[in-house]
Structure 1
Amino acid sequence: MKRYLILHKDRNATYKYFLSPHNGGYILTILYYDKIGTWTKSEEV
Structure 2
Amino acid sequence: MIWTIIGILLLAWIIGFLFEVAGGLIHILLVIALVVFIAKMIRN
RCO higher in structure (CA 8 A, sep ≥6): 2
Q: What band does the TM-score fall into relative to the shorter chain?
A: under 0.3
TM-score, normalized by length of structure 2? 0.24
TM-score, normalized by length of structure 1? 0.24
